[in-house]
A and B are shown apart, each in its own frame.
Chain A
């Protein structure tokens, strides 16, 4: 009755892989940008903040189109990455990961930035007087104290990446086994007569996966903040 076909399984596996890779690559950048926005004092900070949040407000199809222009094989960034590292984004699952990372990035940065802003900077001073150089202060005090925000950002970014559709399909199309994620597969099923049942199965899968991500976020966030409250 409820059985996923091999193609459904591929779409699920692909969605998970794309979302995981997207989140893992976005995380270091998310921490760096979050830190710059929370602590940095530089000209153009508002512009950077705006750029980071742009994918949240732009139509996804526009983001996908911009990615296509820049990261396509002939695009300035895409050509450079291909020539020097042999990395191809266009019409590959890696491109889907890039699109998902860009779309999830604002959701990743925001909680990290907020967490960094609320950290008691005086604890960092205390660490310095105890002999910790700035890098060690960051790793042993700043990052652990920002952990609840980092976890929240990671899970939001991951959930967003799982469901990404508009930018992905614009940038890397809808190729089964390569770029056809759950969302794209549902869309495809809905284009064919009698595709409703097949789409329905994937809809259920999508709901379960999103719920699991939300519950994980809640649980991990609570565990992380409980550590500071001595429970």
Chain B
């Protein structure tokens, strides 16, 4: 479970959010500029809140009052970025193995095969990221984040950089992930149709504030 209560000032926009999420897929939903990406960057440890605290399960990741700020490499939170951010100098296989190598875990071959098969990227392992289509790149990025065995998976508009055809290519994988993998996910999106398909819970953000917390019914009338 993730409990979060944070505040941060960015120039004119002030971000102040407080919510808790359990398992399943929680969508952070709202228009661009609502502070969605900033929030998950805080959860990942890439952005430091001015005030507040972030607790994952029983670990304090951030607590301004106690001056605790666990650096991103010790949070074990998977992050799928909007633009994939695959390492261009590494092959797909090396990208997928990166998290395990960095944390010194022994490679779990069965887990690797299973994840690669789930995401349909087994035939791409020898390639470099440049040789992949946008959709393939995002699938590898998802696999890379999953194979680090995260306690939580953050997805920042993972479909935003894809055209309509490739979006349809990724969504089924994400739904399978939701149904088969036990890892809770936070899914950032401003597109209601996407959220309807993938999310189990919704946190609606507007101008740096939490406007609503609930189920998919929050999306009624949203486009």
Residues of A within 8 A of B (CB): 120, 122-123, 125-134, 136-137, 140-141, 144-145, 147, 227-230
Task: Give me 7 A-to-B residue pairs in the complex whose CB atoms sit less than 8 angstroms apart, sorted by A's number.
Answer: A122-B85, A129-B145, A130-B145, A131-B76, A132-B102, A133-B102, A230-B127
Contact B73 A145 (CB under 8 A): no
A230 to B131, CA, bound (A): 6
Count of CB-CB pairs between chains A and B under 8 Å: 76
In-complex Cβ contact of A140 among B88, B102, B148 (8 A): B102
Give the interface size bracket for B toward A.
Answer: 20 to 34
Residues of A within 8 A of B130 (CB): 228-230
**Known A145-B88, A230-B128: A131·B148 in contact at CB below 8 Å:** yes
Residues of B within 8 A of A (CB): 44-46, 71-79, 81, 83, 85, 87-89, 98-99, 102-103, 127-131, 144-145, 148
Specify the main secondary structure of chain A where it touches its partner: helix
**Known A125-B46, A228-B130, A230-B129: A131·B99 in contact at CB below 8 Å:** yes
A113 to B53, CA, bound (A): 38
Contact B103 A123 (CB under 8 A): no
Contact A131 B79 (CB under 8 A): no
Contact A130 B148 (CB under 8 A): yes
A122 to B99, CA, bound (A): 16
A227 to B127, CA, bound (A): 11
A134 to B89, CA, bound (A): 18
Contact B71 A130 (CB under 8 A): no
Contact B102 A144 (CB under 8 A): no
Residues of A within 8 A of B127 (CB): 230
A140 to B98, CA, bound (A): 9
Contact A130 B88 (CB under 8 A): no
**Known A145-B88, A228-B88: A130·B131 in contact at CB below 8 Å:** no
Contact A130 B98 (CB under 8 A): yes
A144 to B127, CA, bound (A): 18
Residues of B within 8 A of A128 (CB): 45-46, 71-73
Cβ-closest 7 pairs across A and B: A230-B130, A230-B128, A130-B99, A126-B85, A131-B103, A132-B102, A128-B72
Residues of B within 8 A of A122 (CB): 81, 83, 85
A96 to B102, CA, bound (A): 42
Contact B76 A127 (CB under 8 A): no
Minimum CB–CB distance from A148 to chain B (whole Å) comes to 10
Contact B46 A123 (CB under 8 A): no
- B154's closest neighbor in chain A, by CB? A129
- B99's closest neighbor in chain A, by CB? A130
Minimum CB–CB distance from A220 to chain B (whole Å) comes to 15
A11 to B88, CA, bound (A): 43
